[in-house]
Structure 1
Amino acid sequence: MIVVAAFSPSLDTAYVVDDLVLGHPHRPSFVRRVAGGKALNMARAASALGAEVTAVPVLGGHIGELVAELLRADGVAAVPVPDDVTTRVCVSIGSDATGDLTEVYEHAVPVSVVVVDAVLAALRAALVPGAWLSVSGSMPPGVGDDLVPRLAELARASSSRFALDTHGEPLRRLLAAGTAVDLLKINREEARAALGAPADAALGSLVDGLRVRTRGAVVVTDGAAGSLAADDTGRWSVALPTTAGDHPVGSGDSFLGALVAGLDAGRPLAQALAAATGAGAANAEVPGAAVFDADRAREIADLVRVEPA
């Protein structure tokens, strides 16, 4: 079982236009709206691959109601926590002519102490021993820098496992405190910044530095170059089997959703990495975040090379 904390959800709208020209009106050839934000993208991806998922999103206003409706339509179980502030909207516009992607993302809305406490209570009620608590994305204003350690402690107190994909000050504080994390998945730049490493730091040194501090499995992604991961069984290098698609929004979230779904199903890290890479690549083939075809993701996963590093 996977329980997903979503402090900064959004209504994500993806447009595709023939050719995006600033200052001109456009009629999109394709429109897709989903319950978005990194956490809900992750939840949808894991659910699409057969995992049992419960999302706990902070939702407000008529936009929040639409996000809850879209979650239900996608078959994702949710325990919404109401908020007085309207849920944000994020837009991505893909150009068929150039393949370029233009993104306009509203800032995360502030979250009050009362709402944070309500989310923590809902997470506590949903978690069972052996489950995963997944936290991803940046932390919204108002929650304090101690929220991520509190979530890690909540997972530990519930005999659950903690999966984290975040960056910036919350991650640096977590690493400095030596808080245990069962699975940390971030990209190269986020890892470099968190460790204060030089720009040319080797991927292996970043993975090792994070492992020392979290004492759990670590995955550092590196765009088209693939990823490097390590756990108690060894270190694994992952190579992408295909070129990247034109719609990468949500690919990292799809990767995390498939990764945690695989680990939740009892698969070893190497197998879960192949499934995660397949999901991320399949997501990039179609507009919209974490709306990939599950069969296509499995097809790509069969081509992924995961080798001891």
Structure 2
Amino acid sequence: MTRRLLCVGVAASLDRYLWLPRYEFGNVNRPSRVLELAGGKAFNVARAATGLQVATHVVAQVGGHTGEALRTLVQRDGICAELVVGSSNTRQCTCLLDEATHRVTEVYEPVPPRTAQDDARMDAAFTRALHQLTLGDFLVISGRLPSGGDPRLFANWVRLGKQYGLTVIVDSEGEALANALQECPDIVKVNVDEAATALAPHASHEPTALATRLAQLTGGLAIVTAGAEGACAATSSEVGALCPPEIENGAPAGSGDSFIAGIVAVLQEPGTRLADLPKVLQAGTAASRVNVRHFIAGDVTMDAWLEERDHLRLTR
């Protein structure tokens, strides 16, 4: 039976992609193409997972005129989502592609603060979404937790997800991540800096050590990504690493989100378990690398993912 995926986050954005024949800093630049999409980590994960044929639902918070524009984009693209009305205007993020050099410039607005009322509305929507899931489905809690409101919001969602028998995946940072780790998510997927901050003050910046420590804390699967240097994964009994060749002129935005989508997709395959480190690392890394080859965050297809997986082998 196909397992479903719920993606939830409170830091949505209206993402604008601009293709520029040549980006000239300090001068007028006229794009040859402009594309607007629903963005933020929850939507990026959902976009990549949908490309990998995972049935996906999003719960996200949007507000103000930008939020209304994002709502229109969700409807246009047929995304299965419940959009909760927030008290602040949704941020915008802009990605610029210099077509001459293939270099990408990213401009991210800050995530607006949230209120206790925002949390209450998200909690209600989250609970409604949980009622539609069944044992073994996936829950991804991703993105940063803006200031204001309950600092344990994500931790509470991890606890509820586990009570419902879901496979809970967390990708966050700072206090929100530290609190979520206390509820022992099944999978934690973070980068080196996020892991080191959560494990401070005694954490090294060595990916394998960070992944091992996170696995010890949660009792589940921990994955620490290190950009072009690859990724490390650990359980309570095993450690693995994958360091594929670097992709030149890549677009990294959304790579971590695509990594999560790859994990969910491979866990849909019969017989695959969380402890299958080689398969999990290959699947996540392959999705991330497909994403890097495309300008748009979460632009992952099944054919490209399978082809990328075929060329990846664990380093250790």
Q: Could you tell me which of 68, 73, 76 is aligned with 1:70?
A: 73
Is residue 98 of structure 2 the alignment partner of residue 90 of structure 1?
no
- Of all paired residues, the percent bearing the same amino acid is 32
Is residue 42 of structure 2 the alignment partner of residue 59 of structure 1?
no
Q: Could you tell me which of 232, 237, 241 is aligned with 2:241?
A: 237
> Is the 1:15–1:29 Cα contact (8 Å) retained in structure 2?
yes
Q: Could you tell me which of 27, 31, 34 is aligned with 2:30?
A: 27
> Is the 2:230–2:242 Cα contact (8 Å) retained in structure 1?
yes
Q: Which amino acid aligns with 2:301?
A: D
Is residue 137 of structure 2 the alignment partner of residue 134 of structure 1?
no
Q: Aligned residue for 2:185?
A: 181
* Distance in 2 of aligned mates of 1:231 and 1:104: 36
Q: Which amino acid aligns with 1:49?
A: L
Q: CA deviation at 1:233?
A: 6.5
Label 1:75 to 1:221 Cα distance change in 2 as closer, same or farther (>3 A): same
Query: CA deviation digits over 1:10-34, x for unaligned, max 9?
Result: 1111212233222211111332221
Q: Aligned residue for 2:111?
A: 108
Q: In terms of mean alpha carbon deviation, does 214-223 or 198-207 score higher?
A: 198-207
Q: Could you tell me which of 177, 182, 196 is aligned with 1:171?
A: 177
Q: Aligned residue for 2:13?
A: 10
TM superposition score normalised by structure 1: 0.90
RMSD of the alignment, in Å?
A: 2.2
Partner of 1:246, secondary structure, is coil
Q: Which amino acid aligns with 1:16?
A: W
Q: Could you tell me which of 148, 161, 164 is aligned with 1:155?
A: 161
Q: CA deviation at 1:121?
A: 2.0
Partner of 2:111, secondary structure, is coil
Q: Which amino acid aligns with 1:282?
A: V
Q: Which amino acid aligns with 1:130?
A: G
Is residue 222 of structure 2 the alignment partner of residue 218 of structure 1?
yes
* Distance in 1 of aligned mates of 2:204 and 2:248: 23
> Is the 2:12–2:38 Cα contact (8 Å) retained in structure 1?
yes
Q: In terms of mean alpha carbon deviation, does 132-141 or 90-99 score higher?
A: 90-99
> Is the 1:10–1:90 Cα contact (8 Å) retained in structure 2?
yes
Q: Aligned residue for 1:287?
A: 295
> Is the 2:170–2:188 Cα contact (8 Å) retained in structure 1?
yes
Q: Which amino acid aligns with 1:162?
A: V
TM superposition score normalised by structure 2: 0.88
Q: Aligned residue for 2:254?
A: 250
Q: Aligned residue for 1:276?
A: 284
* Distance in 2 of aligned mates of 1:122 and 1:85: 18
> Is the 1:56–1:122 Cα contact (8 Å) retained in structure 2?
yes
* Distance in 2 of aligned mates of 1:265 and 1:109: 39
Q: Which amino acid aligns with 1:291?
A: D
Label 1:245 to 1:257 Cα distance change in 2 as closer, same or farther (>3 A): farther
Q: Which runs of 5+ in 1 are unaligned?
A: none
Partner of 1:159, secondary structure, is coil
Q: Which amino acid aligns with 2:312?
A: V
Partner of 2:314, secondary structure, is strand
> Is the 1:4–1:43 Cα contact (8 Å) retained in structure 2?
yes
Q: Which runs of 5+ in 2 are unaligned?
A: none
Label 1:198 to 1:100 Cα distance change in 2 as closer, same or farther (>3 A): farther
* Distance in 1 of aligned mates of 2:114 and 2:269: 33
Q: Aligned residue for 2:206?
A: 202
Q: CA deviation at 1:73?
A: 4.0
Label 1:108 to 1:133 Cα distance change in 2 as closer, same or farther (>3 A): same
Partner of 2:223, secondary structure, is strand
Q: Aligned residue for 2:311?
A: 303
> Is the 1:275–1:301 Cα contact (8 Å) retained in structure 2?
yes
